[in-house]
Chains A and B, each alone.
Chain A
């Protein structure tokens, strides 16, 4: 079925078109919206695009990193200043998907996808969105909780603070097919260390709930402690608390609950 394609020069015009039409979807890299069209998704009647250069901007020079919503994973991998995001970017798709898929689209990718968003959640990113009535910044956790209602808003960019060291940010995607495959579980951990103790532990999971979630019980087990065997064991045993994984072809909910602590322990103790 043919759809109407509307292309705008500015993101704000595109946001206006998006918010005024229930059947409109924003087309970024195409890996979600074109997939829906190919599948015959009749809920999409209008495709909105924007050629705004601001959407593909990367600002990685300072301590605060900004990624335009239209930045592809291939571009992140080509950016030396974004080394801390290379592991999550590399874990997505094959080369073609990384050439197409975008940071903004990943925020909407349903389980078992959306791995990059897991990293952004652990980094407490901010999502800049433009609705019909202007732009605003939303903490990523709040954005994800209301994701089903975000269809009428256009994501402009995401930003986060660069981790203090490469040790402070860790990422692990468990997949059945290597190097490419949907996520069984995805884990990101941001563990800033202050005076030998963890201050501001943030653990995020993918595929452990309908959207990416923070593992608050594991964070509590880590907070204020040094990252030793005992602390890691306590975090691992708390990993499943508050999660609600689902069964899918890649793994059952039971299996995910069984292994999430194992993989969190391996990630925290620096094992392969």
Chain B
């Protein structure tokens, strides 16, 4: 079966890959581009650790057919840091112990970024809603919520 060429922007850089029919974006990013920041969790849309931004909108890369992102702009955690400096969300996650095993962290950060990009001063309830598609089995969510509140300039309780 012939491979399908797909061109898109990956963290601000133009990339071109050849995929098999049915390849999902997560596999394309990890195996063909070498961006290992989006993680494979469930492959079912239940965990959120493969979350990426497509044209600024939060999507699950494992449920996205790779060839459908042709011509679009993909952002992953790999593109989040600003030069040598961590993004304020990454800094806040570190400061608030929002990562324990770290497996959910790439998806959590992308979900948080999707929220803050359109709502720079979210309420606690809006943060809970924004990360509701992302499962964390370690932290109990509170440190993550506090980190996002802190990054948004809100007062975190911990």
Interface residues of A (CB under 8 A from B): 1-5, 27, 29-31, 34-35, 37-39, 47, 49, 74, 93-97, 99-100, 179-180
Q: A2-B21, A35-B43 are in contact. Are A94 and B134 (CB under 8 A)?
A: yes
Q: Do B58 and A99 have beta carbons less than 8 Å apart?
A: yes
Residue B75 at the A interface, CB < 8 A?
Answer: no
Q: Are A5 and B44 in contact (CB under 8 A)?
A: no
Q: Once bound together, how far apart are the Cα atoms of A96 and B20, in whole Å? A: 24
Interface size on B, residues (CB 8 A): 32
With an 8 A cutoff between CB atoms, is B129 at the interface?
A: yes
Given contacts A95-B114, A100-B60, contact A3 B43 (CB under 8 A): no
How many angstroms from the CA of A5 to the CA of B68 in the assembled complex? 11
Q: Is the CB of A95 within 8 A of B65?
A: no
Q: CA separation between A55 and B111, bound complex, in Å? A: 27
CA distance A22 to B123 in the complex (A): 49
Instruction: Say whether, besides A95-B111, A95-B130, A100-B60, A35 and B45 are in contact (CB < 8 Å).
Output: yes
- CB-CB under 8 A from A31, the residues of chain B are 45, 60, 63
Partner of B64, one of A3, A34, A47, A180: A34
B33 close to A (CB within 8 Å): no
- Is B45 in contact with A37, judged by CB distance below 8 angstroms? no
Within 8 A of A (CB), among B41-82: 43-45, 48, 51, 57-60, 62-65, 67-68
Q: Which residue of B lies closest to A6 (CB)?
A: B21
Kindly name the residue among A34, A37, A47 whose own CB sees the greatest number of chain B CB atoms within 10 A: A34
Instruction: List B contacts of A179 (CB < 8 A).
Output: 128-129, 132
The one of B22, B111, B132 in contact with A47, judged by C-beta atoms closer than 8 angstroms, is B22
Q: Which of B22, B24, B129, B133 contacts A96 (CB 8 A)?
A: B133
CA A47 to CA B130, docked complex, whole Å: 31
Minimum CB–CB distance for A105 against chain B, Å: 11
B1 interfacial contact with A, CB 8 Å: yes
Q: Which chain B residues lie closer than 8 Å to A34 at the CB level?
A: 24, 62-65
B interface residues, Cβ below 8 angstroms from A: 1, 4, 20-24, 43-45, 48, 51, 57-60, 62-65, 67-68, 111, 114-115, 128-134
CA–CA, A47 and B44, complex, Å: 17
Q: How far is the CA of A1 from the CA of B27 in the complex (A)?
A: 13
Residue of A nearest to B23 (CB): A2
Rounded to whole Å, the gap between the CB of B62 and the closest CB of chain A is 6
Q: Given A34-B65, A96-B60, verify A2-B22 contact (CB < 8 Å).
A: yes
Within 8 Å CB of A180, what residues of B? 132-133
A38 to B60, CA, bound (A): 13
Establish whether residues B43 and A96, one from each chain, have CB atoms under 8 Å apart when the complex forms.
no
- In whole angstroms, what is the CA distance A197 to B58 when docked? 45
**What chain B residues lie within 8 Å of A29 (beta carbons)?**
63
Give chain A nearest CB distance to B68 CB in angstroms.
Answer: 8
Given A95-B132, A99-B58, CB of A27 within 8 Å of CB of B65: yes
Contact residues in B for A47 (Cβ distance below 8 Å): 21-22, 65
Please determine whether B133 and A38 come into contact, CB atoms closer than 8 angstroms: no
> Are A96 and B51 within 8 A (Cβ)?
yes
Q: How far is the CB of A240 from chain B (nearest CB, A)?
A: 29
A47-B65, A95-B111 known; A37+B134 contact, CB < 8 A: no
Given known pairs A2-B22, A4-B21, A35-B45, the reply for A95 and B129 (CB within 8 Å) is yes
Do B130 and A5 touch (CB < 8 A)?
no
Chain B residues with CB under 8 Å of A96's CB are: 45, 48, 51, 58-60, 111, 133
Residues of A within 8 A of B60 (CB): 30-31, 96-97, 100
By a CB distance below 8 angstroms, the chain A residues around B45 are 31, 35, 93, 96-97
